[in-house]
Chain A
């Protein structure tokens, strides 16, 4: 099932679920599923991690048939590709893409996410070598392209001391590696901050932990606060950030056009408490697969209406980040419910986008001066709110 209008839905993918091969060895061997799932709630509000369902089970991506099944299930839901992390190892990078690549084609491609090394660690030459190693690691696979170029997501771009220099470095390295060109996506919430000026092609909503886009839910009243402070109740809620899912979804979608060319990141659930056992976790509360479906459909409609035809991407976070509870893979507890809602969301978004074909994008009519209108409305609003 491929969505219409060149819409592509990508899912972040953890390729470490394999029991042999270079990535497995580089990460120290062992059972990757055990590593991902061996975490137990320490707080009342920590939802337990879910378990892989029987549809895919605890697969070994090094097994070609298992990797093929994973890709087939993703394709059938309407997903058009995976985004794999680039893991730094020795002088290069490993992605695990070789396991998935045999099952990819023009309709299902691979994109990559790169987290830059901390700035002081790399001098000019080392940075160039690092970029060359990165390009070597991501080339040679069925690429997921936007605007005709392979997609690379740059994570935490705000840590780059000079984003423009890094962009130039990556583009040169991509040319040298024979990629022809590269489509650079920075993880950032809005066009302000100069990342597009620095040469990035587009932005991508950060993860819930990177960008708390709405106020935390007020789950505790003063009474409970005092009780927890006195040690008579679980005080963990003060250490973690808990966001109501409905508020979170709204905050991610409201006024999107004003944020510029930012690809939506659709999240079903998020709870990174296993990696923050002493507090500081980010959690979504009261999640809903129905609202997730609407989130996904709304995101698809948005990119269909506002982005050029070759650059209509929506990212799902995630396909199999089990340790953050954000996976959309089938689970033991909920079977294929979430995956079904993913497919439904993609169908629904594709249909709605089709119904709006031919509609002029809001705010782009040459006949209307939007700035004058906005100023006039603000002025009237001020007049009405002024005391009589």
Chain B
């Protein structure tokens, strides 16, 4: 719950906004995990102004805490006369809400709110002061101290090192504005350097955001993923980070990586760019939305209705294998970014053997041991090599990993998506001919499991579709994409 209040000549009109779980209405915000809290402040302010176009100012609650508009209005009415702009705090120094003048938005400075720390009232007041050219007071409210905050808030924000990351982006922005007269024209960079799939989602998002609302011009990306950035047609200018991507083991948090990585970015770049933390401020699997939509929201697109979401967009790409229909050639990627995503070995063996017996030529990426089952192993070190491999096969079958997203969303190749421990809606592709998603049979995803199943503690996820389901889906999609003659005749198994 996020509160917004419009102030019109001393009259307060309050609104409640929800982090959406599926509906998208003027009061439901796409719950973007890749957006820092300040991005939500901007969005709520924008929507509150849309509700009350003649408002003089808007007040937006801190996204980290649950606060209804009515509560905000009560806080505003209590105590001394309200000043605008201002930062309202709890009994100590934690920011509870921001009082923002209308002029901030009229001057097109709304995107700078993405830089708010949302946890240091003094720094946020300095940022607003630099933006508005006015002294911004911190006004204490009767609200009891918010400390200690939980590690993950009820709104879903992951605190820990993220608090320092949000604070750093705010403090850096204050310094930049102080030192540059041309700060209004400086570019915004989304700091979202990894991993492979995430870089792809941001690249796709950068192409889908309408030019008029794209608030960013640059993106920080690890050199390891620069080819993905380029081959996926990212519209932003890359800022290349020459350090390894953050480990997925959780040894280092996204927030800490952001802070450390700033030291590895060219000083001249930093002196001319507003750096916005766009790694995960929340767990992305809280909501059913696609990560491409999460990224679009981060980049400034409100994604305000269901028709705006990825799933309502007609697929723009279309790729088919140029080889003859028979023999059918299938490419597989059965391991993902973390161990639990990997399709269980025994099921993979059944799948490969079944396809081989049906006369299908199977190539498996990054799995040498599949030779014994009749498959051909392969590797693809670059996106160009991967694209060539994909185009050399009629169908690609992949777990929730980069090859799946690349084949289905960038190339538009016939694809069978395999989801187990992760929630398909977060990262699958819009429906189109030549795409199949055999549904995971259980509702336990997303489970958050990394190395093992949280239910039985075993190493495998039992929520992957069965080998028989996958064989059926592969033949089904092949028949759809290449015609019935492409698939082995009935009875070939015998």
Instruction: Give the B-binding residues of A (Cβ under 8 A).
Output: 1, 246-247, 249-250, 253-256, 291, 293-295, 297-299, 301, 305, 343-352, 354-360, 362-363, 365, 367-370, 372-378, 380-381, 384
Contacts and interface: CB of A to CB of B under 8 A. Distances in A.
A373 B22 contact: no
B444 A362 contact: no
B468 interface: yes
Contacts of A367: 475-476, 479-480, 484, 487
B450 interface: no
Contacts of B357: 376, 380
A380 B306 contact: no
Interface string B279-309: 0000000011100000000000000001001
B288 A365 contact: no
Contacts of B438: 362
Contact of B466 (A246, A297, A360, A377): A377
Interface stretch (B88-96, B185-193, B202-210, B348-356): B348-356
B493 A373 contact: yes
A145 to B, nearest CB: 25
Interface in B331-358: 346, 349-351, 353-354, 357-358
Given A255-B441, A365-B479, A373-B468, A348 B21 contact: yes
Contacts of A373: 354, 468, 471-472, 475, 493
B38 interface: no
Contacts of A345: 21
A362 B469 contact: yes
Interface in B470-494: 471-473, 475-476, 479-480, 484, 487, 490-491, 493
A112 B466 CA distance: 38
B71 interface: no
Given A349-B22, A355-B431, A384-B346, A370 B441 contact: no
Contacts of B425: 351-352, 355
Contacts of B246: none
Interface of B: 20-23, 287-289, 306, 309, 311, 346, 349-351, 353-354, 357-358, 425, 430-431, 436-439, 441-444, 455, 466-469, 471-473, 475-476, 479-480, 484, 487, 490-491, 493
Contact of A253 (B441, B490, B493): B441
Nearest to A364: B476
Contacts of A378: 468
A347 B354 contact: no
Give 4 nearest A-B pairs by CB, closest first. A351-B22, A347-B22, A298-B443, A367-B479
B22 to A, nearest CB: 3
Given A348-B287, A357-B431, A377 B22 contact: no
Contacts of A301: 439
B431 A250 contact: no
Q: Which of B23, B346, B358, B431 has the most CB of A within 10 A?
A: B23
B7 to A, nearest CB: 29
B468 A344 contact: no
Contacts of B484: 367
A377 B349 CA distance: 10
Contacts of B439: 301, 305, 362
Contacts of B493: 372-373, 375-376
Contacts of A355: 288, 309, 311, 425, 430-431
A249 B444 contact: yes
A195 B11 CA distance: 64
Nearest to B447: A246
Q: Which of A345, A359, A381 has the most CB of B within 10 A?
A: A381
A356 B431 contact: yes
A295 B443 contact: yes
Contacts, number: 137
Contact of B354 (A349, A352, A370, A377): A377
A250 B472 CA distance: 24
A376 B358 contact: yes
A350 B441 contact: no
Q: Which of B21, B469, B471, B480 has the most CB of A within 10 A?
A: B21
Contacts of B289: 351
Contacts of A349: 22
Contacts of A376: 354, 357-358, 468, 471, 493
B306 A351 contact: yes
Contacts of B480: 365, 367
A367 B477 CA distance: 10
Nearest to A344: B21
Q: Which of B22, B425, B444, B490 has the most CB of A within 10 A?
A: B22
Nearest to B311: A355
A368 B476 contact: yes
B354 A380 contact: yes
7 contacts: A246-B444, A355-B288, A362-B438, A367-B476, A368-B476, A373-B471, A376-B357
B385 to A, nearest CB: 31
A250 B443 CA distance: 6
Contacts of A246: 444, 455
A253 B306 contact: no
A372 B490 contact: yes
A343 B349 CA distance: 42
A264 to B, nearest CB: 10
Contacts of B351: 377
A368 B471 CA distance: 9
A103 B477 CA distance: 48
Contacts of B288: 297, 348, 351-352, 355
Nearest to B491: A372
A373 B355 CA distance: 9
A343 to B, nearest CB: 8
A346 B436 CA distance: 24
Contacts of A255: 441
Contacts of B475: 365, 367-368, 373
A247 B462 CA distance: 12
Contacts of A357: 431
A250 B468 contact: no
Contacts of B353: 380, 384
Nearest to B494: A372
Contacts of A344: 21-22
Given A352-B425, A362-B473, A377-B467, 9 more contacts: A345-B21, A367-B480, A367-B487, A372-B493, A377-B351, A377-B354, A377-B471, A384-B349, A384-B353
